[in-house]
């Protein structure tokens, strides 16, 4: 049978970077040398195996430290926590070597090396339960640190059944109970990391959780197999080689990634369940603290109570802070939405309302006037001979003229409920709710005088300064005409003002507005 896939595999290997190949050969050589040494020196297996058992996690620790320096600053925290866990494991295996080789400690009970092995999961659980770098709050980092210290304190009491720094003799728990605890701890960490990875969107932290998830599952399987063998054995053998596997794989995986390579930071919309898991993941640590504290209450009531109260207080503070942050974010979003709406309804040049705002407001005021049987006035204002001003002085001067005229017209409006809008190029419109024809004429006359008093140069047949023409239409009673008719009527009045010489006011009254008369 021909293996047609061999050339393809060979080609993929050849195209890999030399660095990756070297790392893979290093890991395989490390495992091979460890196995050969154990087989050649079976009588001194304890002395031979510990250097390898110390070097493997040391390599993983160094690789995670290197990776922590390679990634961006805001993404370093989970890598640092993973490195801290590996450092504790390395310390644990070092203490185990010291206890076996020099202290001749009995293997049936737990000792200080087991304390380090137990604490190994503390920073890793912090890495799994911490929120993403974009949502991290300094207060939460300090609270997690307090929980970590308290967890170490409770773990010491759990393993040795005495309070640290007391005069009471140590009473370590049996190794069989501790091995069961290790297996449960490893599976829980792997499941928590898997849940976090499964619902994590594609962002910079995802690469870390993929690597962590793979490492934790391999470690859980290897530790389960090794712990099962160790429970029925008193020494070391070739099976010690499998302990190196998860650490070597983790180190190689960290070193194979280039420090310049980073995952795409995609602002994807997160599924609702992902949001719940990401923001609720810190409860993993609270539950772990409760699981340590509750069993201790029988023999160490006050210590267990402190652990439970601390877990609940930290969870309450975290929840209150997140709720406060949510409320603040909602207010900021509402303010931002209001600002965007204002920008969308404002003319960028004159800072008056734009045509869209005019149309919306006119329809609203029309319906209100019809409903309440109140009059509604509309003014259309046009700058006389504006094209000549633009042609003579240029568009920048024309823009300044528009801004000045808009300011003068706005100042002439008597009430805050009145609206001035830029209707067209050099045309403005004013909506005057609850205003009859006489009131509309007073406002128009005030506008006419305000523009003339600014003395903006524009030599025409009307004089040396800018003037405006104003057309007025007034809706006097409900059920008469439509919103389009009042605009058409004001436009007709403005046309008449221009036809009759400009720099003047013309209006269409109630009777003419109904189409039975003329201006």
Residue-wise pLDDT for 197-231, tens only, equals 876 655 556 788 889 999 999 999 999 998 888 77
Rounded to the nearest 5°, which phi and psi values hold at 57?
Answer: -70, -30
Looking at the fold, whether 302 and 361 belong to one and the same domain comes out as no
CA pair distance 141, 126, nearest whole angstrom: 10
Q: Which two tokens stand for residue 62?
A: 């160094």
Which pLDDT band holds residue 4 (cuts at 50, 70, 90)? Answer: very low
pLDDT tens, position by position, 92-137: 999 888 888 877 655 545 567 777 887 888 888 888 877 555 555 6
Confidence check: pLDDT of 17 > 70: no
pLDDT, mean of residues 9-22: 54
Domain boundary among 304, 334, 364: 334
Domain count within the chain: 2
According to the model, what pLDDT value does residue 519 have? 37
Q: Which one has a higher pLDDT value, 187 or 162?
A: 187
Q: Mind listing the pLDDT tens digit for each residue in 318-374?
A: 788 778 877 888 888 898 888 888 888 899 899 999 999 999 999 999 999 988 888
Does the pLDDT value for residue 277 go beyond 60? Answer: no
What is the rounded CA–CA span in Å between residue 469 and residue 383?
A: 7
Judge residue 391's burial from the number of C-beta atoms within 10 Å of its C-beta, 0-12 exposed, 13-18 middle, 19 or more buried. exposed
Tell me: pLDDT of 27 over 60.
yes
Proportion of the chain above pLDDT 70, given as a percent: 79
- Distance between CA 80 and CA 67 in Å, rounded? 9
Helices (H), 6-137: 6-15, 18-40, 45-70, 76-98, 112-119, 121-129
The pLDDT score that the predictor gives to residue 158 is 73
Is 470 part of any domain? yes
Residue 436 φ/ψ, nearest 5 degrees: -85, -175
Q: DSSP code of 509?
A: -
Region 56-60: mean pLDDT is 95
Condensed to tens digits (0 to 9), the pLDDT of residues 30-39 reads: 999 999 999 9
228 with 376, same domain: the answer is no
274: exposed, middle or buried (Cβ count in 10 Å: 0-12, 13-18, 19+): middle
Average pLDDT rounded to a whole number, residues 455-477: 88
154, 418, 157: which is closest to 293 by C-alpha? 154
Coil/strand/helix, residue 480: coil
Q: Do 387 and 299 share a structural domain?
A: no
Of 181-190, 299-308, 509-518, minimum mean pLDDT range:
509-518
**Domain interval for residue 138:** 17-259+269-334
Q: Can you give the pLDDT at residue 16?
A: 45
In a domain, 346, yes or no: no
* CATH number of residue 61's parent domain: 1.20.1070
Give the residue ranges of DSSP H helices in 345-433.
355-372, 386-393, 395-412
Q: Indicate whether 141 belongs to any domain.
A: yes
Per-range mean pLDDT, top range of 116-125, 427-436, 460-469:
427-436
pLDDT of residue 279: 60
Q: Is the pTM of this model over 0.75?
A: no
Q: What is the per-residue pLDDT for 37?
A: 92
Residues 481, 366, single domain; the answer is yes
Residue 55 CA to its chain's centroid (Å): 39
Alpha-carbon distance of 348 to 76, in angstroms, equals: 44
What local confidence, expressed as pLDDT, does residue 265 receive?
Answer: 43
Q: What is the mean pLDDT of residues 50-61?
A: 94
297 and 371 belong to one structural domain? no
Greater pLDDT, 2 or 214: 214
Q: Are residues 295 and 216 in the same domain?
A: yes
Instruction: Specify whether the CB–CB gap between 471 and 506 falls below 8 A.
Output: yes
Q: Are residues 235 and 384 in the same domain?
A: no
Judgement on whether residues 440 and 368 belong to the same structural domain of the protein: yes
pLDDT digits (tens, 9 = 90+) for 486-495: 999 999 999 9
Residues 248, 361 within the same domain: no
Are residues 381 and 281 both part of a single domain?
A: no
Is residue 97 located within the same domain as residue 178?
yes
């Amino acid at each position: 049978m021909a293996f047609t896939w061999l050339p393809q595999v060979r080609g993929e290997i050849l195209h890999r970077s030399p660095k990756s190949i070297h790392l893979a050969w290093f890991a395989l050589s490390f495992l091979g040398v460890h196995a050969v040494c154990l087989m050649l020196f079976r009588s001194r297996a304890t002395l031979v195996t510990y250097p390898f058992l110390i070097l493997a996690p040391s390599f993983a620790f160094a690789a995670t430290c290197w990776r922590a320096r390679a990634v961006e600053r805001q993404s370093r925290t989970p890598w640092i926590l993973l490195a801290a866990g590996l450092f504790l494991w390395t310390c644990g295996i070092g203490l185990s070597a010291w206890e076996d080789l020099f202290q001749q400690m009995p293997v049936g009970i737990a000792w200080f090396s087991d304390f380090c092995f137990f604490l190994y999961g503390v920073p890793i659980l912090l890495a799994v339960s911490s929120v993403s770098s974009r949502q991290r709050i300094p207060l939460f980092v300090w609270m997690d640190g307090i929980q970590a210290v308290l967890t170490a304190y409770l773990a010491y009491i759990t393993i040795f059944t005495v309070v640290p720094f007391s005069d009471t003799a140590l009473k370590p728990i049996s190794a069989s109970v501790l091995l069961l605890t290790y297996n449960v701890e490893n599976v829980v960490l792997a499941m928590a990391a898997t849940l976090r990875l499964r619902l994590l969107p594609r962002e910079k932290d995802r690469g870390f959780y993929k690597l962590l998830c793979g490492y934790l599952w391999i470690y859980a399987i290897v530790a389960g197999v090794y712990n099962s063998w160790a429970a029925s054995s008193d020494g070391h053998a070739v099976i010690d080689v499998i302990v190196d596997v998860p650490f070597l794989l983790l180190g190689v995986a960290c070193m194979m990634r280039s420090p310049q390579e980073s995952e795409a930071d995609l602002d994807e919309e997160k599924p609702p369940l992902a949001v719940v898991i990401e923001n609720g993941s810190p409860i993993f640590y609270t539950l772990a603290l409760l699981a340590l504290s509750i069993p201790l209450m029988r023999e160490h009531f006050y210590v267990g109570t402190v652990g439970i109260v601390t877990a609940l207080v930290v969870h309450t503070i975290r929840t209150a802070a997140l709720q406060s942050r949510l409320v603040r974010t909602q207010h900021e979003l509402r303010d931002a939405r209001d600002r965007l709406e204002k920008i969308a309804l404002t003319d960028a040049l004159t800072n008056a309302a734009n045509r869209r705002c005019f149309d919306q407001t006119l329809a609203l005021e029309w319906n209100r006037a019809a409903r309440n049987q109140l009059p509604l006035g509309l003014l259309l204002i046009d700058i006389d001979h504006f094209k000549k001003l633009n042609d003579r002085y240029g568009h920048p001067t024309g823009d300044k003229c528009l801004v000045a005229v808009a300011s003068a017209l706005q100042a002439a409006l008597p009430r805050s409920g009145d609206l001035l809008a830029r209707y067209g190029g050099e045309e403005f419109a004013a909506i005057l709710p609850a205003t009859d024809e006489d009131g509309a004429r007073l406002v128009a006359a005030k506008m006419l005088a305000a523009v003339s008093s600014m003395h903006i140069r524009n030599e025409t047949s009307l004089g040396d300064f800018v003037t405006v023409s104003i057309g007025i239409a007034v809706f006097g009673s409900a059920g008469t005409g439509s919103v389009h008719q009042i605009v058409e009527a004001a436009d007709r009045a403005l046309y008449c003002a221009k036809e009759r010489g400009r720099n003047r006011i013309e209006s269409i009254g109630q009777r003419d507005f109904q189409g039975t008369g003329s201006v």
